[in-house]
Amino acid sequence: MLVFEFKAYGKPKQFSAIDEALRTVQFIRNKALRFWMDGLGKTQYDLNKYCAVLAKEFPFCNELNSMARQASAERAWSAITNARCSTWGNPKTALARFYDSCKKQIPLKKGFPQFQKNNRSVEYKSSGWKLADNRKSITFTDKKRIGTLKLKGTRDLHFYQPDQIKRVRLVKRADGYYVQFCVSVDRTESVEVTGTAIGLDVGLNDFYTDSNNQKIENPRFLAQGERRLKMAQKRVAKRVKGSKNRRKARQILGKRHLKISRQRKDHAVKLARCVITSNDVVAYEDLRIKNMVRNHCLAKSINDASWYQFRVWLEYFGKVFGKITIAVTPNGTSQECSSCKTVVKKGLSTRTHICRCGCVLGRDHNAARNILSRGLATVGHTGSYGLEACNAWGEDTATHVGASLHEQVTS
Ligand SMILES: [Zn+2]
């Protein structure tokens, strides 16, 4: 599944119609959840049927396209299943992940499904919208009176037929409204074999150091953005609750968030694509967000988030280009000697690895070499699990990383 995104242009009246649709989605989702809590609906099918009841009872529900109504009830269902058996993170995600995480026995976070307060998207399936022939505008045909929105963004949608578009999503963000098209294609591309394998060590000072002692610097814009984010956060905290100024400050904070997450994604995508296309095997540390304890060090926190996203994209491009990506256990990679494998204890501040066997390397360089050799020792069997390449939209682009490794094992 590919996602194409466009910024939507229209009249204020149309945007308030979108807001109305967003509220309706939230209403249906929460109603369906309540229906389930009261023990009246037990299956996803029950919740779907309940949509028709709501449509009869509430005119504003009837105004929303029937499939969009159902999609809202499906959200309630996935909130329920996710709460029962949840991986970290996004409660909006599909049932697929639920089953996936059960199968792979990822530790569960117990919880109860929550009512939603700030819904920001509405999802249409095959009906309720019509794309113009020139692909420059979209018309929503249900009774919410959203009407025709002009689209600005990528031209890539021209390459696909309308029946390949499986879902259309309207998304509200801090800086406006967006239309996303989910197109069903299995994306694979071929590149020439490079004959190289590489190990990557994440660092504090550099974004990563590879096993050939190449260093990629931390992008400066991220640190800068993060600082501005902190400032905006402080400003919100200082304003009186419920005041106009607080609302304004919150809007600014929202925009900064959006900006930094776009920059981070952009950086991760470009770098990951480059690493994958110029190597056949890429090994890296199996760092998970869950294990990255909250810390007060600014540089570290930026790195954690960026590195994690970088990893997800590495695995995504690994699948696209048919390359091998291996996550290895990170324990002790910096302590071991990459030549003779003896343990050479060193503190965090020791930047050089010096071993009795005569091996002298930069600390990170040594670690990267260890990561590569661990990776090569376990090719095809390592800790990739069903991470999804969540792009900055926070929506899925259906990339099961585990699946790619599996294919590589069998081929
Ligand atoms: Zn040694």
DSSP 3-45: EEEEEEE--HHHHHHHHHHHHHHHHHHHHHHHHHHTTS--SHH
Of 170, 177, 172, 146, residue with least CA distance to 63: 146
* Per-residue pLDDT at 103: 52
* Two structure tokens written together for 135: 């692909």
- Residue of higher predicted confidence among 88 and 245: 245
Mean per-residue pLDDT, 257-281? 90
Q: At what angle do helices 298-320 and 401-410 cross, to 10 degrees?
A: 50
Nearest to 399 by CA among 385, 378, 379: 385
- Buried residues in 211-222 as b, exposed as e (16+ CB within 10 A): beeebbebbeeb
Statement: residue 383 has pLDDT above 90: no
Percent of the chain with pLDDT over 90: 46
- Residue 375, pLDDT > 60, answer yes
Cα 357 to averaged position of ligand 1 atoms, centre (Å): 4
- C-alpha separations of 104 from 60, 78, 98, 410 in Å: 41, 18, 10, 19
Question: 6 C-alpha to center of ligand 1: Å?
Answer: 54
With beta carbons less than 8 A apart as the criterion, state whether 68 and 142 touch.
yes
Percent of the chain with pLDDT over 70: 81
Residues facing residue 123 across a β-bridge: 169
Helix (H) or strand (E) holding 207: strand 206-210
Sign of the CA dihedral running 61, 64, 67, 70? negative
Angle, alpha carbons 206-211-213 (nearest 5°): 55
- Check pLDDT > 70 for residue 164: yes
For residue 302 the two structure tokens come to 């930026």
For residue 14, which of 204, 172, 155, 165 has the smallest C-alpha distance?
Answer: 172
Q: Which residue has the tokens 């809202």?
A: 72
Question: Which tokens go with 2?
Answer: 């590919």
Q: Give the lowest-confidence range in 139-143, 204-208, 359-363.
A: 204-208
Cβ atoms of 382 and 328 closer than 8 Å: yes
**Which tens digit of pLDDT belongs to each residue from 57-108?**
999 999 999 999 999 999 998 888 876 554 434 444 444 444 555 555 444 4
What is the average per-residue pLDDT within 20-26? Answer: 96
Whole-number Å distance between alpha carbons of 229 and 167: 33
Q: What is the Å distance from ligand 1's center to 341 Cα? A: 6
What spacing in Å lies between the alpha carbon of 342 and ligand 1's midpoint?
6
How far is residue 142 from each of residues 71, 79, 103, 179, 323, measured CA to CA in Å?
15, 26, 39, 16, 44
Residue 212 has pLDDT above 90, yes or no: yes
203 CA distance to ligand 1 middle (Å): 22
Determine the pLDDT at residue 289.
57
Ligand 1 centroid–CA 329 distance in Å is 20
Within 13 A of 251's CA, how many CA atoms are on the CB side?
9
Instruction: Say if residues 202 and 303 touch (Cβ distance below 8 Å).
Output: yes
How many angstroms separate the alpha carbon of residue 239 from the centre of ligand 1?
58
